[in-house]
Amino acid sequence: MATVLLTGGAGYIGSHTAAELLEAGYDVVVADNYSNSSPEGIRRVEQITGKKVKLYEADVRDAARMAEIFRENSIDAVIHFAGLKAVGESVQKPLMYYRNNIDTTLTLLEVMAQFGVKNVIFSSSATVYGAENPIPYSETMPRGTCSNPYGWTKAMMEQIFEDAAKADPALSVVLLRYFNPIGAHSSGMIGEDPCGIPNNLMPFITQVAVGKRDHLTIFGNDYPTPDGTCRRDYIHVTDLAAGHVKATDYVLKHKGVEIFNLGTGTPYSVSEIVEAFERVNGIRIPFEFGPRRSGDLPESYANADKAAQLLGWKAVRSLDDMCRDSWNWQKQNPNGYRTE
Ligand code: NAD
Ligand code: UD1
């Protein structure tokens, strides 16, 4: 079976993808500098699957270190998760975001070329559709204007991959545009472990549920949506991980660039998420309505047809599953991977 290198594989989406790839029979190598994770997530993936992961502490910007990894392993495909992802922080520290995200991608592509590795999958985001495109978003739409440096790094990196594939017809590139991943592995052993105050909705809700925060602020209730709160395409992280397994099968057989939305195609509002979380878990989430958060769009959701047609992949887990599994992870691990 083929060997897949996951850059940033110790993180939230990478660790879930490692588990699904191992279950599907792939061998997994992980390179991560633990800037937003720890080796514990991968140790738990090994416990869940009963299989070994070859784990390297490595900064993807370090070409010599990456060359060692490619020399020691016969890599068939790479999934490039490594990157910084906090939208607000990217506005405060844009150069850090451009430096880390763009440099990891350039170094990775150079080292892949050096070792003749031709297959790569990239973690992009629905944010690249920007403010101009109508919903639901389809892969044929042009990239739009992003509202923050994090989003721009994703748009720029997509362009870099497209140009690299144009110059090297042997390259096979899959760009995956994630919508809003939430939830956790059904075992409750791995999940999202944000540092500090969570920026994203579901980690914030679970921290209110576990008593770390006293209430949720819903950012705006005057949007042009059915209940006035923003609507998003939330997708269970295990469904997203399963999409990466299908994308790996695909990238090994094709050439050129293919873009796929990974979403469910069904939007839910912030108020609907809070209601579902309360109902499924029997926990009240105190909340108040606050002002809009700058950069938020009223609605974002996928047309998910292309992934169904070409990858044979569809999200199958429900919003109730997402709420249950997010809480199962948080209550079993109130401090994430930290033991204190
Ligand atoms: P995460 O922070 O949990 O994982 C990213 C991993 O990359 C971390 O383990 C971090 O330590 C590592 N990393 C960062 N810079 C590195 C470097 N220079 N060298 C080596 N490792 C490095 O985030 P995630 O939610 O798992 O996201 C994975 C990818 O998916 C990211 O590229 C992110 O931008 C993208 N994405 C995430 C979401 C989301 O909502 N979570 C949505 C769209 C796209
Ligand atoms: C954001 C980013 C996206 C990134 C994703 C994961 C933008 C436009 N989008 O998505 O690029 O990939 O994070 O990092 O920057 N909300 C509250 N209260 C909270 C937190 C969130 O009401 O405390 C609301 C938001 O207003 C939004 C929804 O919940 O309507 C989801 O927010 P969030 O989880 O941060 O994801 P996005 O903003 O959709």
State pLDDT tens for residues 242-284: 999 999 999 999 999 999 999 999 999 999 999 999 999 999 9
pLDDT at 58: 99
- pLDDT tens per residue, range 15-51: 999 999 999 999 999 999 999 999 999 999 999 999 9
* Ligand at shortest distance from the CA of 181: 1
Q: Is the pTM of this model over 0.85?
A: yes
Structure tokens at 34: 């633990």
Catalytically annotated residues: 150
100 CB under 6 A from ligand 1? yes
* Ligand at shortest distance from the CA of 268: 2
174: left (phi over 0), alpha (psi -120 to 50) or beta: beta
Strands 216-219 and 54-57 come out as unpaired
CA of 7 to the centre of ligand 1 (A): 9
pLDDT at 340: 56
219 CB under 6 A from ligand 2? yes
CA of 180 to the centre of ligand 2 (A): 8
49 CB under 6 A from ligand 2? no
Give the CA distances from residue 205 to residues 14, 73, 214, 276, in Å, rounded to whole numbers and listed in that order.
22, 41, 10, 11
CA of 279 to the centre of ligand 1 (A): 31
CA of 201 to the centre of ligand 2 (A): 6
Q: Are 5 and 75 in contact (CB under 8 A)?
A: yes
Q: Which atom of ligand 2 is nearest to the CA of 273?
A: 29
From atom 33 of ligand 2, which residue's Cα is the shortest distance away? Answer: 200
- In the three-class reduction of DSSP (H, G, I as helix; E, B as strand; rest coil), residue 150 is classed as helix
Structure tokens at 124: 């992009």
